Amino acid sequence: MNIPLTTQTAEYELAQACRAGNPAAQQSLYRLYAQQLMKLCLRYVANEEDAKELLTDTFIAAFQNFKQFDYKGEGSVQAWLSRIAINQCLMHLRKSKLHFEEMNELHVEQMYSDERALQQMSAKEILSLVQQLPTGYRAVFNLFVFEEMTHKEIAALLLISENTSKSQLHKARQLLQKKIAQQKQEIL
């Protein structure tokens, strides 16, 4: 049985069926969101096998905790699943001894010098560059850029100082800028 998801009502019904433990609904939910959540996991961990495991852990946690899910309108299922996936990724990174470099003095953050090079890159190419970042840089970069968290929120989440969060973001941007420039040179 495939439960279609075409309207807000259908999304609500799918959530209710998952809450009741309906296997067909759970399968539909998985099919609907697995690809998006896999991409999210790959932003945090570069290893595809780890990302697959984190995706599985995300759905297991979701299905086990669906009774706690509070439907708040269209898109809330995806937002809830994304939050679970991010938490799974961060727990994985903490377990693997996420390393951050402390920095007392922070340099002024620089924006990408060549915006056109970035605009000419595909999402897949950008994801590949983000995946090449060291783990600490990648975690802070994802939380700041994609999840739109503040340095204070990131620091609390990762148990680091705000300055460490800022320095990791700065270094991630510098490294991405360097990699984008290298890629631009390869194209020329």
Closest CA to 130 of 149, 144, 113: 144
User: Which sign does the torsion angle of CA 142, 144, 145, 148 carry?
Assistant: positive
Check which CATH number belongs to the domain holding 129 and give it. Answer: 1.10.10.10
Q: Looking at the structure, do residues 87 and 146 belong to the same domain, yes or no?
A: no
Q: Do 16 and 8 form a contact (C-beta atoms < 8 A)? A: no
- Which residues have C-beta within 8 Å of that of residue 130, sequence separation ≥ 6? 43, 138, 141, 142, 176
> 17-60 pLDDT, tens per residue?
999 999 999 999 999 999 999 999 999 998 899 999 999 999 99
DSSP state, residue 165: H
pLDDT for res 1: 47
Q: Do 138 and 44 form a contact (C-beta atoms < 8 A)? A: yes
Residue 70 class from Cβ within 10 Å (0-12 exposed, 13-18 middle, 19+ buried)? exposed
Q: Looking at the structure, do residues 18 and 69 belong to the same domain, yes or no?
A: yes
pLDDT for res 96: 79
1 inside domain: no
pLDDT for res 17: 94
pLDDT for res 178: 87
Q: Looking at the structure, do residues 14 and 81 belong to the same domain, yes or no?
A: yes
110 inside domain: no
pLDDT for res 124: 79
pLDDT for res 7: 55
pLDDT for res 116: 57
157 inside domain: yes
Expressed as residue numbers, the domain containing 87 is 8-95
The list of the chain residues with pLDDT below 50 reads 1, 3, 5, 103-114
107 inside domain: no
The rounded distance, in Å, linking the Cα atoms of 38 and 54 is 8
pLDDT for res 106: 41
